Amino acid sequence: MNNNEQPTKRRGITVEDLLRLRSVRDPHYAPDGTRAVFVEKSIDEEKQYRSHLWIWAADGSVRQWTFGRWRDMKPRFSPRGEMIAFLSDRSGRTQLWLLPANGGEARQLTFFKNGVRDYVWSPDGTFLIALTTLGDEETIEDREEQKTAEQKPADSKPRVVERLYYKSDASGFLDGKQDVLVRIDAASGKTEALTGREEEIGSFAVSPTGQTLAFVANRNDDPDTTFTRDIVLFDLESKAETNLTNGCGTFASLAWSPDGTKLAAIGHDLAYLGATLHRLYVFEPERGTKRVLTADWDVHLGDAMVGDTHADAKGPGPIWASDGSGLYVTASERGRVNLYFVPLDGPIVPMIEGNFHLYGLAIHPSEQQAIAAMSEPTVIGDLYIISLEDGTKTRLTRANEALENEVVFADAEPFTYRSADGWEIQGWIMKPPGLGEGEKAPLVVEIHGGPHAMYGFTFFHEFQLLVSRGYAVLFTNPRGSHGYGQAFVNAVRGDYGGMDYEDIMAGVDAAISKFDFIDETRLGVTGGSYGGFMTNWIVGHTDRFKAAVTQRSISNWLSFSGVSDIGYFFTKWEVGCDIWEDAERLWHHSPLKYVQNMRTPLLILHSERDYRCPIEQAEQLFIALKQLGRETKLVRFPDANHDLSRTGNPALRLERLRQIVGWFDHYLKGPLD
């Protein structure tokens, strides 16, 4: 820039900028470490999600590898590096495809009627194991139905239900479908079903010898009410099975040691039911031993971060060191997701540590470096090469460079405060850029879902949008959140609307006291799922807020217990009883009980296919408020589920954001009383 040029003034981010966000994720090294493949997810001009494969080479070059109007996902080099397997919906269903690593046409490997959910390579690269689902009368020979211009309407038949667990927010009505693991020959595509129909197969992995398949499944006699998930060992030659865990816990993220003598898993013993911290287990099947390597580490393993940009990016499970001396794991702690090394013997060592969200990882075969997908409050997310020896970080991608150079982002300043009973709570404040000296901004309080999840150091489009429109944004991790140990995450159970409410309100008071730019006369509050429950609870217990937006919320535990896909067990796990045991207790914790106290203008946003918090929860609250003559509006989102704000239809996501900012603009920026 010469002396006569003026720097371009950056603008605030907009609702429509959601369409420009790109999420780079899921890196995977080639066996020789000279290349890596990763995925870039975006939204196209038709407001449809697309994802494509990209290749990075050790010379620093980065180039797009696949193209088209579809979604290519989960790329993995074959053990010898000559092929890349990946999942793609280019045929209609998500199927398994193979692509020559040096270039060429992709070849469809599977044609299963219900597609492929996941897969792994065999150690020698001659076959793959894929996970599919089958209905009552379906077989693995049944092929996917090709899309046609005109689809025939479904037959009008009644749906007969005989099980407690018959629908899923992610999958809709299950209709008797069960999981099957299938062996696929890489050259011919020949298939062989390895398992019968199983309940909820999770992680699976083939041993280094290629002889044993380990997989996680629900092997309980009553799978709807028993929540352990066992590790099953399956001999690929003899077809013999061994249950390795026999109901001692719930497990996922399997990984064989390099010598094949040990099997690592992430899991827990359900001691605190859904609030139990995830631990690192190591089994030695031949010796019959089990160790919990992180038993004394009061930290939750894995990624508990809440966000709206990388929510569906699946981070890595445990990764073995090449010498079998320990494992690399990610962990959620104090609003950060970082990388650690857990040795079989010795202290846990931080490997990639800082105020950021590590949401994807690949370890180089030499273990001297890693590729990490990382996000920060002012960095949307990119891949970095990080030295595991000295921490040196080199940015590998700049997927959002144009947008980041065009808009101004507000950083999230962390702070801590004390709740009413003395517990320390972590929070963050975001100040509107350009706010002048002495000027004040209205405050929007954001409350995360879960409640066993975590806000923290990650990019959040919704937060940046509110800040760009002149709002300060406060977000906190009240008790019940991950990141602060077992006692903290368990403390909300049986106390919804109790000290968790006090934690949030103490955060509002602390922020107003600490940050003089907050206008305490113009307060708004919003949240989704548990955050929606808490928004409903707040406006039923205080008139401090001038506007509220409740999203995919719970208003009535009495009905929630019978209509949610998880309600029949989640209600007892979290509130403490079943409806026939103590209906008064469920009503006491229901925001609807306090509807006569609700005088804050309340916008209610809900998806019509939300089976996690069904829309009747919104309808009950809306009708009661209207009967009472309160200021409220219900916005229903068709063909959307509980994940609307994170992975829902982009056009509906845009409208959701417009509704939120429109409501707050009307009630927090208009004339004061």
- Amino acid identity, residue 155? D
Reduce the DSSP state of residue 618 to 3 states and report it.
helix
pLDDT at 353 over 80: yes
Cα atoms in the Cβ-side hemisphere of radius 13 Å centred on 583: 4
**pLDDT tens figures, 445-466:** 999 999 999 999 999 999 999 9
- Amino acid identity, residue 477? N
Q: What is the mean pLDDT of residues 178-195?
A: 96
Bridge pairing between strands 602-607 and 547-551: parallel
Kindly report the backbone phi and psi dihedral angles of residue 655, in degrees, each rounded to the nearest multiple of 5, phi listed first: -65, -40
Q: What is the mean pLDDT of residues 356-378?
A: 96
pLDDT band at residue 589 using 50, 70 and 90 as cut-offs: very high
Tokens of 46: 């038709």
pLDDT band at residue 672 using 50, 70 and 90 as cut-offs: very low
**pLDDT tens figures, 516-568:** 999 999 999 999 999 999 999 999 999 999 999 999 999 999 999 999 999 99
Q: 275-305 as b/e, with b when 16 or more CB fall inside 10 Å?
A: bbbbbbbbbebeeeebeebbeebebbbbbbb
Q: Please tell me the predicted confidence (pLDDT) of residue 8.
A: 59
Tokens of 534: 């808490």
Q: Please tell me the predicted confidence (pLDDT) of residue 144.
A: 83
**pLDDT tens figures, 97-113:** 999 999 889 999 999 99
Residues 6+ apart with CB under 8 A from 188: none
pLDDT at 673 over 60: no
CATH class of domain segment(s) 298-407: mainly beta
Print the SS3 string covering 26-43.
Answer: EEEECCCCCEEEEEEEEE
Pairwise pLDDT comparison (146 vs 74), residue with the higher score: 74
CA–CA separation, 119 vs 487, rounded Å?
36
Reduce the DSSP state of residue 276 to 3 states and report it.
coil
**pLDDT tens figures, 397-449:** 999 999 999 999 999 999 999 999 999 999 999 999 989 999 999 999 999 99
Q: Which helix (H) or strand (E) holds 633?
A: strand 632-637
pTM: predicted TM-score of the whole model, two decimal places: 0.95
pLDDT band at residue 155 using 50, 70 and 90 as cut-offs: low
CA–CA separation, 273 vs 487, rounded Å?
13
Cα atoms in the Cβ-side hemisphere of radius 13 Å centred on 396: 33
**pLDDT tens figures, 5-57:** 434 589 999 999 999 999 999 999 999 999 999 999 999 999 999 999 999 99
Reduce the DSSP state of residue 611 to 3 states and report it.
coil
Question: Given CA atoms 430, 435, 437, 443 in this order, what sign does their dihedral have?
Answer: negative
Cα atoms in the Cβ-side hemisphere of radius 13 Å centred on 612: 20
pLDDT at 149 over 90: no
CB-CB contact of 188 with 241 (8 Å) = no
267 forms beta bridges with: 251, 279
pLDDT band at residue 4 using 50, 70 and 90 as cut-offs: very low
Residue from 100, 54, 56 nearest 73 by CA:
54
pLDDT band at residue 176 using 50, 70 and 90 as cut-offs: confident
pLDDT at 202 over 60: yes
CB-CB contact of 117 with 81 (8 Å) = no
pLDDT band at residue 152 using 50, 70 and 90 as cut-offs: low
Where are the extended beta strands (E) located within 237-368? Answer: 241-243, 250-256, 263-268, 279-284, 289-292, 300-301, 319-320, 326-333, 336-343, 349-352, 357-363
Q: Does the annotation mark 529 as catalytic?
A: yes
Residue 302 backbone class (left: φ over 0; alpha: ψ -120 to 50; beta: rest) = left
Residue from 571, 574, 511, 504 nearest 541 by CA:
504
Count of helix runs (H) and strand runs (E) in the chain? 11, 39
CB-CB contact of 136 with 123 (8 Å) = no
**pLDDT tens figures, 314-337:** 888 999 999 999 999 999 999 999
CA–CA separation, 536 vs 622, rounded Å?
11
pLDDT band at residue 148 using 50, 70 and 90 as cut-offs: low
Cα atoms in the Cβ-side hemisphere of radius 13 Å centred on 167: 19
Cis peptide before 451 (omega within 30 of 0): yes
Q: Please tell me the predicted confidence (pLDDT) of residue 208.
A: 97
Residue ranges of domains in the chain: 298-407, 410-668
CA–CA separation, 210 vs 595, rounded Å?
61
Q: Which helix (H) or strand (E) holds 514?
A: helix 499-514
**pLDDT tens figures, 250-277:** 999 999 999 999 999 999 999 999 999 9
CB-CB contact of 288 with 352 (8 Å) = no
Which CATH code is given to the segment(s) 410-668?
3.40.50.1820
Per mean pLDDT, which range of 17-21, 174-178, 490-494, 563-567 is the poorest? Answer: 174-178
Bridge pairing between strands 547-551 and 518-528: parallel
**pLDDT tens figures, 84-140:** 999 999 999 999 999 999 988 999 999 999 999 999 999 999 999 999 999 888 998
Q: Please tell me the predicted confidence (pLDDT) of residue 7.
A: 46
Q: What percent of the chain has pLDDT over 70?
A: 97
Q: Please tell me the predicted confidence (pLDDT) of residue 153.
A: 55
CA–CA separation, 117 vs 88, rounded Å?
10
CA–CA separation, 476 vs 508, rounded Å?
9
- Rounded to the nearest integer, the mean pLDDT of the chain is 95
Q: 414-434 as b/e, with b when 16 or more CB fall inside 10 Å?
A: bbebebeeebebbbbbbbbbe
* DSSP string covering 503-545: HHHHHHHHHHHH-TTEEEEEEEEEEETHHHHHHHHHHTT----
Q: Does the annotation mark 171 as catalytic?
A: no
CA–CA separation, 363 vs 195, rounded Å?
31
Tokens of 29: 């090294």
Tokens of 45: 């001009």
CA–CA separation, 660 vs 657, rounded Å?
5
Q: Of 481, 529, 553, 561, which is the active-site residue?
A: 529
Q: What is the mean pLDDT of residues 282-305?
A: 97
Residue from 524, 525, 523, 543 nearest 533 by CA:
525
CA–CA separation, 536 vs 632, rounded Å?
12
Kindly report the backbone phi and psi dihedral angles of residue 122, in degrees, each rounded to the nearest multiple of 5, phi listed first: -75, 160
